[in-house]
Amino acid sequence: MSVAYTLALTQDKASHLWMFRKSLPTKVNWASLALGEIPSVPEKDPRVGRYLLLGAAVTILAAAIIKGCEYFPESTFQLASESRLPKWITLPAGLTRADVSITMSYYTWGSARFILQDARGQTLEKVDGMVKCQNFRLKNPPQGFPPGYPAYAVITAKGTTEMIEHRKMEPVFYMTDDPTVWKEYRAFGCD
Per-residue model confidence as pLDDT tens for the chain (191 residues): 444 444 444 444 544 444 544 554 456 666 666 666 665 555 667 776 777 777 877 887 766 665 555 567 888 999 999 999 999 998 999 999 999 999 999 988 889 999 999 999 999 999 999 998 877 888 888 899 999 899 999 999 999 999 999 999 999 999 999 999 999 888 877 65
User: What is the pLDDT at residue 18?
Assistant: 47
- Is residue 163 located within the same domain as residue 116? yes
- Is residue 127 located within the same domain as residue 162? yes
- Is residue 92 located within the same domain as residue 163? yes
- Is residue 86 located within the same domain as residue 62? no
User: What is the pLDDT at residue 52?
Assistant: 76
- Is residue 46 located within the same domain as residue 106? no
Decide: 113 and 128 in contact? Cβ < 8 Å: yes
Domain range spanning residue 21?
Answer: 3-68
- Is residue 94 located within the same domain as residue 158? yes
User: What is the pLDDT at residue 191?
Assistant: 58
Burial 121-152 (b: 16+ CB within 10 A, else e): eeebeebebebbbbebebeeeeeeeeeebbbb
User: What is the pLDDT at residue 152?
Assistant: 93
- Is residue 59 located within the same domain as residue 26? yes
User: What is the pLDDT at residue 17?
Assistant: 47
Decide: 17 and 9 in contact? Cβ < 8 Å: yes
